[in-house]
Structure 1
Amino acid sequence: MTQTEHQTTPSTPTPRSADPAADAATTPVEYPPLAPMTTTAATPASWASATWRPFRNVIVCRMVPGSEDKVGPVFAYYDQTTRPQDLGVVGRVLLSYEDLYLHVIERKQDPAVSGQRRGLPAFQAIAEAIEPYVTPYASYWENPSHSVAKHFYSWLPEGEVSPDREMTVIVQRMKPGTEEEIARVFAESDAGGLPTETGVTGRWLYSMEDVFVHLLEQDRTKAAAVRQNHESMRPAFAKVMADLAPYVSPYRPETWQTPRDSVATVFHRWTAPDWKPGDPEPVLAQEEAPSSWT
């Protein structure tokens, strides 16, 4: 918190948002007017390297369709006027898909390992601003932590890969409770040559009840070549899709036509502009009280 921000007596706020990244305030602040701001769909990460990957959480909520221009500028304002990187967050991607809100939070390290679970004071203001548009998805939702999707599979290739990578977020329906079966299908495919041939540099799978979220990272040049010559890979892709068919289906089958229809749309992306792996951690002020989510 800067010296110019308004401070009030610390309190434990009532949860105001389904997104835990916007709901962990311990010090309420006055919410300043949002300035007009343009968000970008692709910004190179300052920490891009051949080996290092951030720890990623995925938050899944419902969102009022068409409200991207209401939600995106809220995060854009605070990503520019505060320092999430001092609290371990080095990037975030906000995406929409049909009536879903997806928030990919990129951290320096798993909070379970680092112990860094502090929240920016601005999070209460963010929560109040997005509350009309972002609501819980999980049927069992009682607190913001229930919006964090379950991570159940990941794969990384051996050795170094190109730092020029792009991430695609794919959203589908899944049969609840079939994480083990879905992971098996991808593990069998990833053990072969298909990922390398298509430039896959990382894969992370998440679930939220009947929502399946697939974070696919690819070498940008190889991914473009595959899109131009998709027919050469069709048999291998067809096998994966056939093996997944008992467990995975389009989120909206009535409007789905091609695999591209399952790709979520980025409406805000931020990466820490002045941080890279190996940088020393800042010393946080005592008044920055810890919170459960950042």
Structure 2
Amino acid sequence: MHTTVTLASRESDAIPDAPRGAGLTRRQVFTYHDLLIDVRDFAEAPGPAGTDGRAARFYDWSASTAVPGPLHSTLIVNRMDPVRQTEVAALFAELDATDFPERMGTRHRQLFLVGDVYLHLQHFGQEDGGALIDKAWVDADPRFIRICDALMPIVPPYDPATWTTPADAIATRVHHWEAA
């Protein structure tokens, strides 16, 4: 799967039209505060991210064994200084080298950055990824707590004035299309 993420200002709740050809297999649109986030999955890699609002992916991980069935996406939105990309990627690489992500139900994780907007796209085998993230907090696995503690000072909330819990960083999916 090859994913592109485009970030735009959300001036209305209207979903922009998008061509569905050229290998597009799935499209999801999320809203978060003043942002419209367009996530597209392709069968083959599209051209490189440029200055067209597309986010640059700086981390990509997939579960060691393919699990059949649909992917359900959760998108976390925060802020991050671009100079921290290597550090954040290393934190996730360390966590993803363990059995924790698969035990949590994570099948695929990608991290993107456009400007200082950090996007954490996480795919699960079940529909409510937010519930799986909440369960990880309740279970208090030391690996999960360690990465959350490490990320908090370097990946702060998108809007600190409205943030009260990690659930406040999850974007709302407003559109979903998948090829037959």
User: Do they fold alike, i.e. is TM over 0.5?
Assistant: yes
Match in the other structure for 1:32: none
What amino acid is aligned across from residue 58 of structure 1 in structure 2?
V
Give the aligned partner of residue 6 of structure 2: 59
Residues 111-161 of structure 1 deviation map (CA, whole Å, 9 limit, x = unaligned): 359xxxxxxxxxxxxxxxxxxxxxxxxxxxxxx843010111010111222
* Alignment partners' CA distance in 2, 1:170 and 1:222: 13
Map 1:80-91; keep pairs closer than 5 Å. 84-85=20-21, 87-91=22-26
Corresponding residue of 1:202: 108
Instruction: Check 1:257–1:162 CA distance in 2 against 1; reply closer, same or farther (3 A cut).
Output: farther
Please say if residues 199 and 222 of structure 1, whose CA atoms lie closer than 8 Å, have aligned partners that are also in contact: no
| In 2: Cα distance, 1:145 partner to 1:229 partner | 36
What are the residue-to-residue correspondences of 1:89-100 with 2, within 5 Å?
89-100=24-35
Q: Deviations over 1:229-287 (max 9, x none)?
A: 741135332211111133201101111111111011111111123xxxxxxxxxxxxxx
Structure 2: gaps of 5 or more residues = none
- Residue type matched to 1:153 in 2? Y
Secondary structure of the structure 2 residue equivalent to 1:148: coil
Q: TM-score, normalised by structure 1?
A: 0.55
The answer to whether the aligner puts 1:148 opposite 2:54 as a matched pair is yes
Q: Which has the larger radius of gyration?
A: 1
CA distance in 2, matches of 1:245, 1:225: 19
Letter in 2 for 1:55: H
In terms of fraction of residues, the more strand-rich structure is 2
1:246 aligns with one of 144, 147, 153: 153
Which of the numbers 246, 251, 257 marks the counterpart of 2:164? 257
Does the 8 Å contact 2:104/2:136 carry over to 1? no
Which contiguous aligned blocks of 4+ residues in structure 1 show a shift greater than 6 angstroms? Answer: none
Decide whether aligned partners of structure 1 residues 153 and 228 sit closer, same or farther in structure 2, where only a CA change above 3 A counts: closer
Root-mean-square deviation (CA, aligned residues, Å) is 2.4
Kindly state the Cα deviation for residue 57 of structure 1 after the two structures are TM-superposed.
0.3
SS at match of 1:178: helix
In the TM superposition, 1:191-230 aligns within 5 A as: 191-220=97-126, 224=131, 227=134, 230=137
Q: Could you say what secondary structure the match of 2:112 adopts?
A: strand
Distance 2:105 2:128 in 1: 5
Identity value in percent: 30
Aligned residues between the structures: 178
3-state SS of paired residue (2:107): strand
Counterparts in 2 of 1:112-151, with a 5 A limit?
Answer: 112=47, 145-151=51-57
> TM-score, normalised on structure 2?
0.88
> Alignment partner of 1:248: what SS?
coil
